[in-house]
Amino acid sequence: VTEDGPADGDGNPGVERDGAAGDDPPEAYADLVDRVERHRAIEDAAGHLRWDQEVVMPAEGTPARARQLAALSAVGHDVLTDPATAEALDAVAALTTEDDAALDPERAAVVREVRREHDRAARVDESLVEELSAATSEAHPVWRDAKEDADFDAFAPTLERLVDLRREYAAQVEPDADPYAALFHEFEPCLDIDTAERILDRLAHELPPIVEAARADSDGTADPATGDGTAVPTIEPATQEAVVRELLDGLGYDWDRGRLDTAPHPFSSGTPFDARVTTRFDPDDPLAGITSTIHEFGHATYTQGLPREHYGTPLGEARDLTVHESQSRLWENHVGRSRAFWEWAGPRIADHAPAAAAVDPADWHRAATRVEPGPIRVEADELTYHLHIVLRFEIERDLIRGEASVADVPDRWRARSTDLLGVEPGNPSEGALQDIHWSHGSFGYFPTYTLGSVLAAQLWAAMADDVGREALHGHIAAGEFAPIREWLGDAIHRHGKQYPTDELVERATGEPLRADAFLAHVRRRYATGG
């Protein structure tokens, strides 16, 4: 209710439609785009309501919010699977065989992406969608309580039901595929599961000795916070916020199209017009607040870099989770954990937090690259993180393929955690219950975290070839981040979903996605102390 006038309508200028294509599209294509844009707008509306829920919603707002999100999910699904959308796709497909009305490559890419998304959604029975939705709703409190009680058995029947439903879902959505691949494609539709498996297997074998070497290195030092040198001091949240706002300014975050808030679990979300980041501040661990903010900046700068004239179609959307995670990890790890970065950032932090004045760039860098295996994924360092992913990937893959049972999970977790990380969870809350993903019915999500880091290293290597490794170092130390943003904008951001992931990676780096650059990077940084 407005004090002072009607709240309906808005009178705002719209997005300029299809600006890059120039000529008027065929009518069938224009009709398809109307439907696609409506679907995108509904999804983005839901995204903002989730932001609101995590950041500003009052404590008791949940029941109404759940209704609102369920309604948007239902009407979004209806728009996508509407028979009229299939008809529009068919009408456009017919067009492409006539020379005079054929689509240009950008429009053809839109049709390719919408076709995939439509077909996947339309192949699944409505009743299964509802069953999955109900099952995940019920699963969440069961998982939360089981985690609190460290009681895997309390969650096991729920997990079994989710695995069964997801196997059924996989059989419907890609009837001829390996079921785990079908689920992986929910999050990463444009990479094949063999690529993912090959990369994860390689890391499973090659990372542990690097971890061992890096640990030995840090074992020789006395200070638990930084390895050696001066420890990072406690910094109050308000001061940390001033610090990360200045760092975001320097990195090139566009505040007119974004904002920074705090949230219990940091995330980023939004559109190219409004790409927000969240972070959290632990007084005792200022480094975590800084690296988490840089990570989310990487996501947001991808979103801000998408072509706004294509907002609403796949050409204005990010290329799925692997590429998104490559942007966050590139900024977090290749920029934000580099020695050069701390030469720039260190003095800026000291300006706000005098207690940090004695922490020199080498101290910050040591703290940011400290390696210490532990049971918890979200607390893991740049190296051991991927062994956590291997562990989850192997178990969920075998569950979905029917090659392992839920009852086996705790034993497998313990055994494989010991193999890979040399640590055993103290209880199931530090083991298979620690992550929310399975309680959401999300299987096949975890690999994208590692694939994103692997792609980040491959992009960074290609950028270093173009710009020069020393020049990159110089730019970062001087706080000149525009060359990095521009290289990524040109190689990745501006393309939206024009190319499938594999083609995008080849175009940007000259090679298919593989682990070489990542392993070279971690060997350089951790095995030689470089």
Q: With binding defined as CB under 8 A, does residue 249 bind its own copies?
A: no
Question: Which of 25, 80, 88, 136 lies at the binding interface for its own copies (CB under 8 A)?
Answer: 136
**Does the active-site annotation cover 394?**
no
Q: Are the C-beta atoms of 528 and 516 separated by less than 8 Å? A: no
Phi, psi values for residue 347, rounded to 5°: -60, -35
Per CB under 8 A, contacts with its own copies among 192-221 are none
Question: Which of 311, 342, 393, 481 lies at the binding interface for its own copies (CB under 8 A)?
Answer: 311
Question: Which of 123, 202, 348, 437 lies at the binding interface for its own copies (CB under 8 A)?
Answer: 437
Question: Which of 126, 209, 255, 407 lies at the binding interface for its own copies (CB under 8 A)?
Answer: 255
Question: 229 or 441: whose CB is closer to its own copies?
Answer: 441
Q: With binding defined as CB under 8 A, does residue 240 bind its own copies?
A: no
Nearest approach, Cβ of 212 to its own copies (angstroms)? Answer: 27
Question: 159 or 359: whose CB is closer to its own copies?
Answer: 159
Q: With binding defined as CB under 8 A, does residue 117 bind its own copies?
A: no
Nearest approach, Cβ of 39 to its own copies (angstroms)? Answer: 8
Q: Are strands 260-262 and 274-279 parallel, antiparallel or unpaired?
A: parallel
Q: With binding defined as CB under 8 A, does residue 326 bind its own copies?
A: no
Which of 296, 317, 382, 430 is catalytic? The answer is: 296
Q: With binding defined as CB under 8 A, does residue 530 bind its own copies?
A: no
Q: With binding defined as CB under 8 A, does residue 267 bind its own copies?
A: yes
x-or-dash string of contact with its own copies, 356-375, rule CB under 8 A = --------------------
Of 123-131, 213-221, 320-328, 338-346, the segment contacting its own copies by CB under 8 A is 320-328
Q: With binding defined as CB under 8 A, does residue 347 bind its own copies?
A: no
CA-to-CA distance for 198 and 196, rounded, in angstroms? 6
Question: 218 or 439: whose CB is closer to its own copies?
Answer: 439
Q: With binding defined as CB under 8 A, does residue 127 bind its own copies?
A: no
Q: With binding defined as CB under 8 A, does residue 14 bind its own copies?
A: yes
Phi, psi values for residue 262, rounded to 5°: -105, 150
Of 138-146, 174-182, 191-199, 361-369, the segment contacting its own copies by CB under 8 A is 138-146
* DSSP annotation string for 125-173: -HHHHHHHHHHHHHHHHHHHHHHHHT-HHHHHHHHHHHHHHHHHHHHHH
Per CB under 8 A, contacts with its own copies among 17-76 are 37-38, 41-42, 44-50, 52-53, 56-72, 74-75
- CA 285 to chain centroid, in Å, comes to 23
Nearest approach, Cβ of 413 to its own copies (angstroms)? Answer: 18
Q: Are the C-beta atoms of 291 and 369 separated by less than 8 Å? A: no
Q: With binding defined as CB under 8 A, does residue 385 bind its own copies?
A: no
Q: Are the C-beta atoms of 186 and 498 separated by less than 8 Å? A: no
CA-to-CA distance for 231 and 529, rounded, in angstroms? 19
Question: Which of 274, 408, 480, 486 lies at the binding interface for its own copies (CB under 8 A)?
Answer: 274
Task: Give which of 191, 111, 225, 127 is closest to 450, Cα–Cα.
Answer: 191
Radius of gyration of the chain (CA): 24
Question: Which of 119, 131, 138, 192 lies at the binding interface for its own copies (CB under 8 A)?
Answer: 138
Q: With binding defined as CB under 8 A, does residue 334 bind its own copies?
A: no
Nearest approach, Cβ of 290 to its own copies (angstroms)? Answer: 14
x-or-dash string of contact with its own copies, 441-470, rule CB under 8 A = xx--x-------------------------
Tokens coding 214: 């890096």
Q: With binding defined as CB under 8 A, does residue 428 bind its own copies?
A: no
Quick check: helix, strand or coil at residue 219? helix
Q: With binding defined as CB under 8 A, does residue 378 bind its own copies?
A: yes
Task: Give which of 391, 362, 517, 404 is closest to 449, Cα–Cα.
Answer: 391
Of 196-204, 255-263, 360-368, 459-467, the segment contacting its own copies by CB under 8 A is 255-263
* Other CB atoms within 10 Å distance of the CB of residue 125: 11
Which residues neighbour 313 within 8 Å (Cβ) at sequence distance 6 or greater? 18, 33, 36, 37, 40, 110, 496
CA-to-CA distance for 473 and 484, rounded, in angstroms? 11
Quick check: helix, strand or coil at residue 490? helix
List the alpha helices (DSSP H) in 315-445. Answer: 320-329, 339-352, 361-368, 384-400, 409-421
Of 7-15, 87-95, 368-376, 467-475, the segment contacting its own copies by CB under 8 A is 7-15
Residue 522 identity: V
Which residues neighbour 257 within 8 Å (Cβ) at sequence distance 6 or greater? 272, 273, 274, 275, 304
Question: 26 or 266: whose CB is closer to its own copies?
Answer: 266
Nearest approach, Cβ of 369 to its own copies (angstroms)? Answer: 19
Question: Which of 195, 230, 269, 338 lies at the binding interface for its own copies (CB under 8 A)?
Answer: 269
Q: With binding defined as CB under 8 A, does residue 286 bind its own copies?
A: no
Q: With binding defined as CB under 8 A, does residue 514 bind its own copies?
A: no
Q: With binding defined as CB under 8 A, does residue 496 bind its own copies?
A: no
Task: Give which of 446, 444, 443, 441 is closest to 132, Cα–Cα.
Answer: 441
Tokens coding 81: 């699977």
Question: 117 or 138: whose CB is closer to its own copies?
Answer: 138
Determine the size of the site formed for its own copies (CB under 8 A): 92
Residue 462 identity: A
Q: Cα dist. 5→1, 8, 9, 11, 13 in Å?
A: 9, 9, 11, 14, 20
Cite the active site residues: 296
